[in-house]
Amino acid sequence: MYSLLFKSFFRTKIFLVSLVLLMSVGVISIFIGKQYLVKQEKTIAAAQVFQEESIKKNIEYHSEDLGLLLYYLRFTLAKKPENISAISIGQSDVNPLLQAVTIRGLEGQKYDTDFENPSLLMSGNLDLGFVIIYLFPLVLIAMTFNLYSEEKELGTWRILAAQTSGKAGFLFKKMAVRILFVFVVLIVLMFLASTILQISMSANFWAIFLQSILYVLFWSALCFWMVSLLKSSSFNALALISIWVVLTILIPALVNNYVMNTYQVPEALDAMVEQRDGYHEKWDMEKDITMNGFIGAYPQYINYDVPEDKFSWIWYYGMQYMGDMAAKETSEEMTEKIMLRNTVSENVALFVPTMHAQLSLNNLAGTDMVSHLGFLNALTEFHEKLRLGFYDKIFREKSASAVDWTKHDIKFYQAEHTFSWLKLLLPTLFITLVIGVIGGFNLKKL
């Protein structure tokens, strides 16, 4: 039976069109991911060269005044490139891969990023995750919406039903052939991606693999349920496309609108302005006001003199630090609101497989907003370590020769991706089983 159904399916135009469409777009998406990785590598290599040249050039002009030299020098922290991120680029196209900062106030530098093509940002990246989330369901719909209704409308169902003992079983096998074809294409693309993108077979890769399989299985169950209603082809097509629009576009848009309005995040510009105001206003205040706050945070510098009648670097960098403290509350509030947005979105996504799949792929690939916040936290630690490493030499009025500049190359942040297998797989699996069981009961009407 299955061999005949496979031969019959392979002769249809929908098989050839689906195969060409999925494989061609899938391979293109993998190479787009490859280009994304190459761009990351080139950006990091260029940043490394720039930092080395910048240090050498600035030392030529400011070698005697370390405080002035470090006013200009930038030091780079980069997210260590992970090949798995090419599967689901997520928000990494708008969040910076690396940050080059001076030892001055951090809040004024933290949210600097490159300008990107607005049209590209609107359309998003055609990565493999996009193909799985949006294109695979459409192909499934196109292949299955008229499995029963077409035979009924052409008048051939009676003949087919008379030739088989189990009408429901025949329809199920006919659908299983098409679903199996889609699964084979998906598996081929996943392993092709792992080869071309050189992705290690880590837990994250297998988690993405299983989440993708479950996602396609969910849409298979949905199509099976729709066919089991025994409606007309036009009804099935319209209903399934409507469900696709609701699940992939409408609900995510509504959830996004809800969380943005419920948890309104202060603009990053607010933190930058507060940092600069907090710094600039210190010029007109008594130096003790600045130094009390700075020494309170770093008592190890209490023995350094702060002359009232002239400029000193300890006072200047103390002002920069106090500027950051002025923006600290706004910065923390922004982080808290972003985390609340993410938590609400994840909770809603437990009941919406399309959202759950998208958020899961981004999380597993390390391209979600939470991963970026982890990078910003690491940047804060990097900046403080950098400052404290230079402060003593600056306050003692050392020259550039007192620093071993070979140690100040580009530094990398290695993200840690943790996830729960149960939370990852159970929501979609449960919804899929429920829909599949309902569809099975419906087929008993045949």
pLDDT reported for residue 130: 93
Rounded Cα distance, 380 and 394, in Å: 20
What pLDDT does 336 receive? 87
User: CA geometry: angle at 121 spanning 345 and 139, to 5°?
Assistant: 70
Residue of 109, 166, 140, 124 whose CA lies nearest to 36 = 124
Tokens of 280: 């600039």
Residue-averaged pLDDT of the chain: 86
Confidence (pLDDT) at 266: 64
Q: Which residue has the tokens 């005949």?
A: 4
pLDDT for 117 equals 45
Give just the sign of the alpha carbon dihedral 47, 48, 49, 53. positive
User: Please, which residues bridge with residue 79 across strands?
Assistant: 413
Q: What percent of the chain has pLDDT over 90?
A: 50
pLDDT tens per residue across span 320-341? 888 888 888 888 888 888 889 8
Alpha helices in 63-117 (DSSP H): 66-72
Helices 313-349 and 369-395: crossing angle in degrees, nearest 10, is: 170
What is residue 121's predicted lDDT score, i.e. its pLDDT? 42
CB 113 within 8 A of CB 95: yes
CB 417 within 8 A of CB 371: yes
Q: What is the pLDDT of residue 214?
A: 96
pLDDT at 154 over 70: no
Quick: pLDDT tens for 35-87.
999 999 999 999 999 999 999 999 998 888 999 999 999 999 998 878 999 99
Q: Quick one: which H or E segment has residue 75?
A: strand 75-79
- Window from 4-13, 30-39, 312-321 with minimum mean pLDDT: 4-13
pLDDT of residue 115: 44
Q: What is the pLDDT of residues 175-217, one digit of tens each?
A: 888 899 999 999 999 999 999 999 999 999 999 999 999 999 9
| N-term to C-term CA, the chain | 19
pLDDT of residue 274: 67
Contacts of 86 (CB under 8 A, 6+ apart): 30, 33, 34, 36, 37, 127, 128, 193, 197, 199, 365
User: Cα–chain-centroid distance for residue 140?
Assistant: 26
Q: Model confidence at 446, in pLDDT bands (50, 70, 90)?
A: low
* pTM recorded for the entire structure: 0.87
**Residue 118 above 70 pLDDT?**
no
Give the helix, strand, coil percentages of the chain, each rounded to 5.
Answer: 75, 5, 20
Q: What is the pLDDT, as a whole number, of residue 232?
A: 86
CA 49 distance to own-chain centroid: 28
Indicate if the pLDDT at residue 128 is higher than 50: yes
